[in-house]
Amino acid sequence: MNILVVEDEPKAGNYLLNGLQELGYSVSLARDGVDGLHQALETPFDVIVLDVMMPKMDGWEVLRRLRKEADTPVLFLTARDDIADRIKGLELGADDYLAKPFNPDELMARVKAVLRRQAAPVPGAPGSEDESVTFGDYELSLATRELKRGDEVHMLTTGEFAVLKALVMNARQPLTRDKLMNLARGREWDALERSIDVQISRLRRMIEPDPSKPRYIQTVWGVGYVFVPDGTATK
């Protein structure tokens, strides 16, 4: 397993490098955001541990640019522990978030959890070749995570795909947030608070003609969400 650590603080960076190497992982270290983004785009890493406050390019911008090209799992490691920052990280496509100062055992456990989610089949993983689901003007490929509408193609992040697949495979069935999390990622889901709502918001902005009045991913008050393939109102 290859891990990229992007951390500008020498002590923290070296600690992460040595600790992960002792666990048997192959680890690369970048000391700023620009170098981190370059390495992330040039080398196929299994997970990236990414600091937020860094010189040259902060972690937000690194992740924003990375998500245009790749869906490598990202664990934010930062001194910023505000809930708004956690939500921002998830909206940009992060997979997990750990605040400094961190417990070393918790950090290693979170890294291993992200790696397990990548290595093991989960309910929200891509399906077999040639398998796809259509709704409205959209076609969702279960093999490639591509969401197509005519010539327009969206490459969904791991989280977006897992949630959308869980919804479309259980069309017209109201799902609670807990049920949706289990269907999307199984027991390995280590979601942060409100993460399902964040993914739903991202998907609505992508597929809904008017995200404020969703037709496909509708809210069931007091329950959770329901997917309506033809975009008609639910009773």
Pairing of strands 152-155, 132-135: unpaired
Domain check: are 19 and 66 in the same one?
yes
Residue 75 and residue 111 in contact, taking contact as beta carbons nearer than 8 Å: yes
The β-bridge partners of 140 are 133, 147
Kindly state whether residues 190 and 158 are assigned to the same domain. yes
Q: What is the CATH number of the domain that holds 18?
A: 3.40.50.2300
**Confidence band of 211 (pLDDT split at 50, 70, 90):** very high
Beta pairing partners, 217? 227
Task: Provide φ and ψ at 155, rounded to 5°.
Answer: -95, 110
What pLDDT score was predicted for residue 70?
79
Same domain, 89 and 167: no
Q: What span, in angstroms and rounded, lies between the C-alpha atoms of 97 and 83?
A: 10
Interval 99-148: pLDDT, tens = 877 777 888 888 877 776 665 444 444 444 457 888 888 998 887 788 99
Given a contact cutoff of 8 angstroms between Cβ atoms, the answer to whether 165 and 124 are in contact is yes
Helices vs. strands in the chain: H and E counts, helices first: 8, 12
What's the confidence (pLDDT) of residue 28?
93
Q: Give the whole-angstrom CA distance, residue 33 versus residue 51.
A: 9
Residue 38: predicted pLDDT:
94
Answer yes or no: is pLDDT of 223 > 80: yes
Residue 110's alpha-carbon distances to 36, 48, 73, 113, 219, in angstroms, are 20, 12, 12, 5, 31
* pLDDT value, residue 225: 93
Asked whether residue 235 is domain-assigned, the answer is: no
Does residue 108 share a domain with residue 14?
yes
**Host domain of residue 184:** 132-227
Query: What is the pLDDT at residue 48?
Result: 92
Length of the chain: 235
Q: Tell me the residue ranges of DSSP E strands in 79-215.
A: 96-99, 132-135, 138-141, 146-149, 152-155, 175-176
Looking at the structure, tell me whether residues 115 and 138 fall in a common domain: no
Backbone angles phi, psi at 192, to 5 degrees: -85, 160
Q: Which residues pair with 48 in a beta bridge?
A: 4, 74
Q: Are residues 115 and 218 in the same domain?
A: no
Say which range, 39-43, 149-153, 189-193, has the weakest mean pLDDT: 189-193
- The string of pLDDT tens digits covering residues 88-99 is 777 777 878 888
Helix pair angle (59-66, 33-42), 10° resolution: 20
For the record, the structure tokens of 58 come out as 């902060």
The reply to whether 25 falls in a domain is yes
